[in-house]
Structure 1
Amino acid sequence: MEQIIFALVVMVLGIAGCIFYFVGSNYVLDRVYGIHGKSPEVAAKNLRRIALIRPWLFLGPAFLALTVYLIYPVFASLYISLFDKTGDTFIGINNYTWLFANDEFLQSFMNNMMWLLIVPAASTFLGLVIAALTDRVWWGNIAKSLIFMPMAISFIGASIIWKFIYDYRGDGVEQIGLLNAIVEFFGGTPEAWLTMPGWNNIFLMLILIWVQTGFAMVILSAALRGIPEETVEAAVIDGASGIRIFFQIMIPQIWTTIAVVWTTITILVLKVFDIVLAMTNGQWDTQVLANLMFDWMFRGGGDFGRGAAVAVIIMVLVIPIMIWNIRQESKGGR
């Protein structure tokens, strides 16, 4: 109860603080550069000053937060990655040369690449198919709500749900995991799914696909509804089948949106951490870059230099995709 009360107090104080800042800063601005009782020349000059300053009163907190929590950490990580474990001795790019000769890093990198190949493709494809199908049935909105629901769950919450699905209690013990219960029902042998080499990565990916399919579905459904009806009707009159209309008429018209959804999920996959941490903690060859960075920085390794080097690698992988994504969104907006 104390935690709930504390959280509510923090929320109330935060909202009140925001209101006080925006109302108070605009009041002060209007008082400092007032126009009432001023000569036309002074009033015009003050109006120009107000027009220049007021946007920054709203953007200022966001820029401050971005500087403190994004821009500064980027340069700090680059700086720390050039030092040894203690942070006292400058070692240049030694941390990076060590990374690319380290088997654990290379395995984590390959696992991330496998996530990149499977998760964005599967999530986008399933989201697109579901969006197209649910628009054709009367209960489509109900189906969309159910499919989108996992988006409201944190990755840790989703991992706990799927941990019960994959749960394994050993031979001769009653299984409570849904997957093993199904296997037993059909006469199969229960398995420790999360320890199966290669397949365990796929089982972890299913969690993120389950969560992100709803996101892809919502965005792509909106894009499909934006396709002019005349285009589809003309294809129907010409005798085109439903599959041909879908692949040759509809998809080309929303290709930019598909690409943006794909790259947005790709950026998320490059930073995947919570699911691996909660499900396997990187054991059984499921390690990924973000979890490896966490291990080196805060656990076991305790080496901030190497941890920061992994963080820089993740950032370097994300930046080109992010730039391309922003450009595609800008083109779509025009």
Structure 2
Amino acid sequence: MGRVLTADTNAGKFGLMIAAILLFAAVVGIILFLATLFRGKLADRLTAYFYLLPTLLMLAVGLVYPGVRTIFQSFFDAAGNSFIGLDNYQTIFGDSEQLKVLGNTVIWVLVTPFVATAIGLVYAILVDKSKFESFAKALVFLPMAISFVGASIIWSFVYAYRPDQANVKQIGLLNQIVVWLGGTPQNWLLINWLNTLLLIIVLIWIQAGFAMTILSAAIKAIPDDIIEAARLDGVSTWGMFRFITLPAIRPAVVVVLTTIAIGTLKVFDIVRTMTGGQYGTSVIANEFYSQSFRSGNQGLGAALAVILFIMVIPIVVYNVRQLKRSEAL
């Protein structure tokens, strides 16, 4: 008997790819054909609408519908059968463990964007126009090329702990430094007041390179005549940064801060890889995964997703307003 062409076979996958290409070509052809039926200024506007229609359709299917469905599901029980109103939200804001998750998420958002941006900005200023600028920037940008999971594994070795015994050597860099200094090695990721900050360091390590790259480009875009005029006026180094550099790169700083903040709100890989959300380190994205796919509580998982969405909205709105303001200048 012949093999059936399904998506599980190579021939089936190839057939699906060809079908997708043909479908795309057919959609573009239909749009072009409809655009030729009109003339004048109306034709340009309708052509734009025709091209936007497939995008809007895909957004509706891939974003709007799942979003509305998630909001709707957040008002139902774990199985998604019985309507329970705001009970899931009451659980989130009334349960101590869920409040811990919200608190951890707030700590991530308050610390990561500002520290990563500050490190990137200071580094960009220090290496600007130096002899080893390219090499120095490459060192900081390198973590950006590593996946979150890969970075988490690297830092898991940094924080690795072995019992403090005579014949046991520490393999974790942090604990080995502690031993060299005469201290006692610790299982760092089990310390509740510290472990969340240790996980945050991993994301800062990754995002500092992104901040440095964007801000370095913004610094180089400052006109040389402005810098020379400030130096001729005897402006100090701090004054140069405060009154020249920082105001000039303010739109870039806002973009970097908001971009890192949105990424921080969605952080999942680092927490899942290093602690699994245990020991008081869980965040909203990880808790959403745990409730939805491990505990089978679809309602509570959907409510957590809605809260995460609500937390992202103010950052996006602020970013859009700042971009519009910078374009108007």
1:116 aligns to what?
Answer: 109
* Unaligned runs of at least 5 residues, structure 2: 1-7
Residues 14 and 47 of structure 1: is their aligned pair in 2 closer, same or farther, counting only changes over 3 Å? farther
2:207 aligns to what?
Answer: 212
SS in 2 for 1:272: coil
Residues 24 and 78 of structure 1: is their aligned pair in 2 closer, same or farther, counting only changes over 3 Å? closer
Cα deviation digits, residues 234-274 of structure 1 (max 9, x gap): 11111111222012211012222212211111111112111
Aligned equivalents of 1:291, 1:28: Cα separation in 2 = 43
2:266 aligns to what?
Answer: 271
The answer (yes or no) to whether the contact 1:26–1:54 under 8 Å persists in 2 is: no
1:322 aligns to what?
Answer: 316
Letter in 1 for 2:183: G
2:60 aligns to what?
Answer: 67
The answer (yes or no) to whether the contact 1:26–1:57 under 8 Å persists in 2 is: no
1:171 aligns with 2:171: no
52-61 or 243-252: bigger deviation:
52-61
1:255 aligns with 2:250: yes
Letter in 2 for 1:321: I
Aligned equivalents of 1:123, 1:160: Cα separation in 2 = 20
Residues 298 and 183 of structure 1: is their aligned pair in 2 closer, same or farther, counting only changes over 3 Å? same
Length-normalised TM-score, structure 2: 0.87
Aligned equivalents of 1:26, 1:87: Cα separation in 2 = 40
- What CA RMSD, in Å, does the superposition of the two structures yield over aligned residues? 2.7
1:227 aligns with 2:222: yes
1:41 aligns to what?
Answer: none
The answer (yes or no) to whether the contact 2:88–2:303 under 8 Å persists in 1 is: yes
The answer (yes or no) to whether the contact 2:76–2:85 under 8 Å persists in 1 is: yes
- Hey, which bits of structure 1, 4+ residues long, moved more than 6 A? 8-18, 47-50
The number of residue pairs the alignment matches comes to 318
Residues 167 and 88 of structure 1: is their aligned pair in 2 closer, same or farther, counting only changes over 3 Å? same
1:83 aligns to what?
Answer: 76
The correspondence for 2:288, drawn from 287, 293, 303, is 293
Residues 318 and 240 of structure 1: is their aligned pair in 2 closer, same or farther, counting only changes over 3 Å? same
Cα deviation digits, residues 122-180 of structure 1 (max 9, x gap): 01101111111121302111211221121122211111111111111222222211222
The answer (yes or no) to whether the contact 1:293–1:310 under 8 Å persists in 2 is: yes
The answer (yes or no) to whether the contact 1:150–1:214 under 8 Å persists in 2 is: yes
1:39 aligns to what?
Answer: none
The answer (yes or no) to whether the contact 1:109–1:289 under 8 Å persists in 2 is: yes
Aligned equivalents of 1:18, 1:148: Cα separation in 2 = 37
Length-normalised TM-score, structure 1: 0.86
